[in-house]
Structure 1
């Protein structure tokens, strides 16, 4: 997938301060033909957010719109799973269109990329947090350094197509002793290979069986391309982990995951396997997203929406979601661990839930 496949930006919606900033001007220079429309807040754009009429234009909204704003909250939050902390995001939204993604729930409907232009403020907030926290007393499941997730509400590999904010973050962590950046991605952006992270950034390639990805991971790099990128990113100085997310329970899921794990064992170099670790995350869905998906990609809901196997769950951010029933999930998590143990015994499971 090329940049032109993902982005055909025709309208840039911009807060006034972000529009006149150096970062904002840098972004605009990449899309010189786009119409610029000023807005008071990146959170309140009626034409984009909460507009039910956009459901039928789901992919076009993501491809043709870009938002510039300033990040107001610079709070670093604890995590403890894939990272020790969640850094303030330098972007939210995405140009890709994964059918299960929770990000569209935040602003409503397609939620194209919003780039925050005050990246320097965000990185200074991380530096201050690290200074207050002090050295990590001992390694934990996240790593030996304090790990900060950079891309909670976006995909940094795609964000890097829009601005140099991701490159600045990689450079910042390269000089930040005792800390490591981390982000998960479904897009292979080979421009990131030139950023010289020197081990200070961990990239987590999200993987699922290709049959699932073809149905659910729309507008993303293929699973074949993601696997093929692992050794290249390791050679370029990244720590490279794997993110098995989401695990979708449908007929044949165990066989498909076993095949994928065998492929990883065959294709990854000894060096990649030695440093790799993974996280396993079973599907969490949302009734509102289910209803939206029925308007643009109903086939996905044939496998995502399974009331007979799911139950209500209130997420950490207070949203009402659905997940697999406790008994179903417990068996599936145990089975995934067994499959990894048999087909990829070299792979450490950092956590599974």
Structure 2
């Protein structure tokens, strides 16, 4: 099975590969999709000096995302408890992205570029997830994640809609959750991939379209599908058998922010049919930024930092990696959250807010 490649964001010219990945069937399939790409063997997918940790790459940020692909083997298979977007974070089948959202947290961990890395040992990952879901049994009681199913986030560090243009890993995951009786996949996306409409998820996959006001998206959501296209896709994905939620994320506080959110909500309300409205729910996530990502952005997209880096509105907290994360100040943030959630409840009374922070 080979997915049609229709992705203007990618022009793969160099594939960094672990030899073990190239020996696996999925690795061979991926290499066959990009036959003209230069192949560079590496010892480890996450230790490639010319990609990660080199400050000079700031100037080549988008080019690296467009032209480089990393092919590796996922070594550690764990399902981490979550409790917000999902019950568990599934072991990833990819990380990195060809898109270049100015607020993305993945570059903080990987350095100055984060092209797509695909893991070729998909069979082991699928087997692990199926066994893990089997051990959970029936969900004992509803929670805000889902009333019945154990939900696994399959795209914590990547965008699955985009990953599906590179390999069949995402389709394999959707097929798996279509047949698991007690579990559901979930992923957030900013990329409309209509090839997914030809799959058969049977209600076993939740797609969360990330939305924000158009003005914010044009400034911050670099190389993503337009907001209008994401909203337009919702009814089609519901009709195709997906559960579809929305992520109002990240919420950026700036002059006129609430008025622009009101306009976005009006657009969403006018686009949804009754079937989509009945199953809709939302996550509301306010911006968290980082001092290291701030420095990266100053090198390639400084205009974004005019709204992302607002010391007069934000407070800092030491991150697990030793840097500083910044969030809107205590007290002020509570008022922002209340203002937006009240607006959502007024404009979209049928939309359940799963959580907001």
Fold match, TM over 0.5?
yes
For 1:307, what is the secondary structure of its paired residue? coil
When the two chains are superposed, the root-mean-square deviation of aligned CA atoms in Å is 1.2
How many residues are aligned here? 352
Identify the residue that residue 160 of structure 2 maps to in structure 1. 156
Spell out the pairing of 1:216-227 with structure 2 (5 A cutoff): 216-227=220-231
Q: Which of 317, 342, 347 in structure 2 is aligned with 1:343?
A: 347
Secondary structure in 1 matching 2:29: helix
How much does 1:325 deviate? 0.7
Residues 72-113 of structure 1 deviation map (CA, whole Å, 9 limit, x = unaligned): 110100000011000001000000000000011121112100
Please state how far the C-alpha of 1:137 moved relative to its aligned partner. 0.5
3-state DSSP of counterpart to 1:161: coil
TM-score w.r.t. structure 2 length? 0.97
| Pair 1:136-2:139 in alignment | yes
| Runs (5+) with no aligned partner, structure 2 | none
CA deviation vs aligned residue, 1:137-194 (integer Å, no higher than 9, x gap) = 1111111200000000000000000000000000011111100000000000001111
1:8 pairs with one of 11, 24, 27: 11
Give the match's secondary structure for 2:312: helix
**Out of 189, 202, 206, which is 1:202 matched to?**
206
Cα 1:248–1:343 shift into 2, 3 Å: same
Match of 1:290 in 2: 294
1:75 aligns with 2:78: yes
The equivalent position to 1:258 in structure 2, one of 249, 256, 262, is: 262
Identify if the C-alpha distance between structure 1 residues 233 and 317 changes in structure 2 by more than 3 Å, giving closer, same or farther: farther
Structure 1 stretches of 4+ moved >2 Å? 2-5, 313-320
Distance in 1 (alpha carbons) for counterparts of 2:26 and 2:69: 14
How far apart in 2 are the matches of 1:160 and 1:268?
25
Question: 2: distance between equivalents of 1:196 and 1:350?
Answer: 26
For structure 1, list consecutive stretches of 5 or more residues without a partner in the other structure.
none
Q: Scaled by the length of structure 1, what TM-score is found? A: 0.98
SS of equivalent residue, structure 1 residue 98: coil
From 331, 334, 347, give the equivalent of 1:330. Answer: 334
Are positions 1:185 and 2:189 aligned together? yes
